[in-house]
């Protein structure tokens, strides 16, 4: 089942911040600003999976580990993001980690992706480097 992207992009942000998508992760997706912390980058990357924005995912993936391209499965329904733990990753840090659990449904089955993700900041921009699936 393909998500209703117009509804997703005009409602509450999928990252569950409590803000509207356009005022939250949408501004990062549109390139109006960069996520100031590793956690905000993690949230915006999760939201990019929800709204099917592979260009943003590639743009925020560190060049040392970034794939050439990526396809997102429109049949995966991302339901909830839980931030479980963080280490560093603030506006003045150069690296950080974020452990998260992303809940989804696919073919009527519930699933969970849990990962400890690593991020680096170069200049004022945070990038996803890689992660260990838990």
**DSSP assignment of 13-53, as one string?**
-TT-SSSBGGGTHHHHHTTSS--SSHHHHHHHHHHHHHTT-
The tokens describing 64, both together, are 């040392």
SS3 5: helix
Burial annotation 100-123 (CB, 10 A radius, 16+ → b, else e): bebebeeeeeeeebebbbbbbbee
List of residues 6+ apart from 30 with CB closer than 8 A: none
SS3 92: coil
| Mean pLDDT to the nearest integer, 27-38 | 97
pLDDT at 74: 95
* Band (1; pLDDT cuts 50, 70, 90): very low
- 2: pLDDT strictly greater than 60: no
pLDDT at 85: 98
| Mean pLDDT to the nearest integer, 61-78 | 97
pLDDT greater at residue 120 or residue 7? 120
**Residue range(s) defining the domain that contains residue 31:** 5-133
pLDDT at 7: 62
pLDDT at 57: 98
The tokens describing 104, both together, are 């989804």
- 8: pLDDT strictly greater than 80: no
| Mean pLDDT to the nearest integer, 53-64 | 98
Q: Mean pLDDT over all residues of the chain?
A: 94
pLDDT greater at residue 9 or residue 22? 22
pLDDT at 115: 98
20: CATH: 3.10.450.50
Rounded (10°) CA dihedral 57, 25, 82, 5: -80
| Mean pLDDT to the nearest integer, 18-41 | 97
């Amino acid at each position: 089942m393909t998500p209703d992207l117009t509804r997703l992009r005009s409602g509450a942000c999928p990252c569950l911040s409590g803000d509207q998508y356009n005022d939250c992760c949408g501004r990062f997706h549109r390139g109006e600003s960069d996520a100031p912390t590793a956690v905000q980058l993690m949230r915006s990357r999760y939201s990019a999976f929800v709204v099917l924005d592979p260009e943003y995912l590639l743009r925020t993936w560190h060049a040392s580990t970034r794939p050439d391209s990526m396809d997102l499965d429109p049949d995966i329904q991302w339901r909830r993001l839980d931030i479980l733990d963080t280490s560093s990753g603030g506006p003045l840090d150069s690296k950080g980690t974020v452990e998260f659990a992303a809940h989804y449904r696919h073919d009527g089955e519930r699933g969970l992706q849990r990962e400890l993700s690593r991020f680096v900041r170069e200049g004022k921009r945070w990038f996803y480097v890689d992660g260990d699936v838990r």
